[in-house]
Amino acid sequence: MFESRCGVCCNNCERKENVNCSGCIDMKKPFWGGECGVKYCCEEKNYNHCGECPDFPCDILSNMGVEKGFDPSLKIEQCKKWAMNK
């Protein structure tokens, strides 16, 4: 079962409770209150997560968090796993 739109494993997130996050699947807006391009894109196209999209991995996902030092390859690999376990 998928936990997010982008491949983050929310159930294993150490910050989840500290930032009052119930996961993007269950929230209208991300916990930080801004917009998430991945969340918006998936929901607009009625995909559960990015791995279901024929354009996967797109530029939005491939560049998500890079400016803050995060490695998007982990999320991409997780979306691949979720897509294979349909």
pLDDT band at 31 (very low <50, low <70, confident <90, very high): confident
Please tell me the total count of domains within the chain: 1
What's the rounded Cα separation, in Å, for the pair 74 and 46? Answer: 23
Asked if residue 49 belongs to a domain, the reply is yes
Give me the pLDDT at residue 16, please. 85
pLDDT tens digits along 46-81:
999 999 999 999 999 999 999 999 999 999 999 999
Give me the pLDDT at residue 11, please. 85
Give me the pLDDT at residue 2, please. 79
Of 31, 2, 51, the C-alpha closest to 41 is 51
pTM: 0.85
Asked if residue 50 belongs to a domain, the reply is yes
Residue 50 CA, distance from chain mean position: 7
What is the number of other CB atoms lying within 10 angstroms of the CB of residue 2? 22
Asked if residue 51 belongs to a domain, the reply is yes
Give me the pLDDT at residue 28, please. 84
What's the rounded Cα separation, in Å, for the pair 73 and 27? Answer: 24
Cis peptide before 57, with omega less than 30 degrees from 0?
yes
Structural domain boundaries enclosing 53: 10-84
